[in-house]
Amino acid sequence: MNRLRNFWRKIGPGLVTGVSDDDPSGIVIYSQTGAQAGFGMLWSALFTFPLMAVMQEMCARIGLVTGHGLAGNLRRYYPRWVLVILVGLAVVGITLNIGADLAAMADVTHLFIPIPEPILAILYSILIVLLLIFTSYQTLAGFLKWTALTVLAYMFVPYFTQTDWREAIFHTVVPAMKINRETALLFVAILGTTISPYLFFWQTSMEVEDKQTKLKRFMARWIVTKHELRDMKEDVTVGMFVSNAVMWFIIVATAVTLNAHGITQINTARDAAEALKPFVGPYAYIVFTFGIVSMGLLAIPVLAGSSSYALAEVMGWNEGLNKTFHQAKQFYGVIIVSTLVGLMIPILGIDPIKALFYTGVFYGITAPVLIFAILHIVNNKQLMGRHINSPISNFLGIAVMILMTVAVIGAFTL
């Protein structure tokens, strides 16, 4: 029991980052994957795990070693035009993502509460903004960690129906993919939602903030130990594993229910929830719906916080969730504005699936360039000292960059 308690105390930014990747937008994409391809693309959950883990570990290491977020390091060591382009594209994609998530949360809540969806989206926005502004970092971090556990609910859904586990495992370890435009776009969407630029910014900044909080508590200097690096790597690995395990179970759940009954198109999170009800019963349907809302409450603070950290470091503003609103007005102002702009998607009735598509395009354009910058930073001995990348990390990082570039090109040329 003590070992489990110590393990829970050690994990934090990595788990929150990984689980926030399973946001309502991601749930729609994974549901569409299972509905469209059945078990055929289960291998993508296993395939993307080491790629996600290595990129997030690099970002976490940059934050721990340099004491600055990703945008802060870009601002100090790269031309300003590079910084403005990378951060600008990331912020646009993040804002679209926030809007799509709010739309999905309002969509599924409307199934149980007969309130107009725009009103529900507004109420969720107010709740999230108040949570970010008026809670301390320690309280928020604890809330996010416990909220992250709700994703485990998805793992129970396949047990409500007949599932061929042997076939599911086979398709997990043996890649199979039809080469056509629809499947290529689906693969780009999977890459975009699992290896997202906003996660890079959030992971780096949260490692800095987490360490600052510990240093203030113990009045210590900024020194990075092997023990800290080992704990960080364990935290990131656990977070990415949980993220992809949930992705795998969602694909399985929708494959054995929707695809098996001829339903191959999912347009909204509400579609995914409603389509499951006849096949798995009301309890699994409620679990799935509750998961979408709780994951939105986890993911939107991460999305809005990512924009705030990035822009604050670009502009040199005071930053951090451990600061009060009066200490970092511009930082919290970005959170409010990005949430309000994202809110326009559900209020104006913009198709959240189109918003997701354009988010994927922005992420697809931004991610390879940003990955190149991350690789450059993490191999700079002046910045990282003896904590530069290993050859394996460099190989996997370059592989991610090339894969995402080729995938985006392929999706639009097939």
Confidence check: pLDDT of 280 > 70: no
DSSP assignment of 117-172 equals HHHHHHHHHHHHHHHHHHS-HHHHHHHHHHHHGGGGGGGGGGGGS---HHHHHHHH
pLDDT computed for residue 141 by the predictor: 60
Residues with Cβ within 8 Å of residue 341, at least 6 apart in sequence: 95, 98, 99
Q: Looking at per-residue confidence, does 334 or 158 come out higher?
A: 334
Q: What angle do CA 237, 243, 246 make, to 5 degrees?
A: 135
pLDDT computed for residue 362 by the predictor: 67
Torsion sign across C-alpha atoms 166, 169, 171, 173: negative
Q: Looking at per-residue confidence, does 215 or 367 come out higher?
A: 367
Pair 234, 404: CB distance under 8 Å: no
Residues above pLDDT 90, as percent of the chain: 8
Q: Ranked by mean pLDDT, which of 107-111, 194-198, 284-288, 376-380 comes out on top?
A: 376-380
Q: How confident is the model at residue 256 (pLDDT cuts 50, 70, 90)?
A: confident
Q: Looking at per-residue confidence, does 313 or 177 come out higher?
A: 313
DSSP assignment of 166-195 equals HHHHHHHHS-----SHHHHHHHHHHHHHHS
Confidence check: pLDDT of 325 > 90: no
pLDDT computed for residue 42 by the predictor: 92
pLDDT computed for residue 153 by the predictor: 64
Q: What angle do CA 137, 139, 144 make, to 5 degrees?
A: 90
pLDDT tens per residue, range 102-152: 888 888 888 788 888 889 889 988 888 887 787 765 666 666 656 656 556
Q: Which two tokens stand for residue 217?
A: 């508590």
Block residue for tokens 């993502």: 97
pLDDT computed for residue 326 by the predictor: 84
pLDDT computed for residue 269 by the predictor: 67
323 burial via Cβ count (<10 Å: 0-12, 13-18, 19+) = middle
**Arithmetic mean of pLDDT, 81-98:** 82
pLDDT tens per residue, range 294-311: 778 778 887 888 888 888
Cα distance between residue 31 and residue 232, in whole Å: 31
pLDDT tens per residue, range 360-403: 666 767 788 888 889 988 998 888 888 889 899 999 999 988 88
Residues with Cβ within 8 Å of residue 320, at least 6 apart in sequence: 137, 209, 212, 328, 331
Q: Looking at per-residue confidence, does 117 or 11 come out higher?
A: 117
Residues above pLDDT 70, as percent of the chain: 79
Q: Which residue segments constitute the domains of the chain, with CATH numbers given?
A: 23-413 (1.20.1740.10)
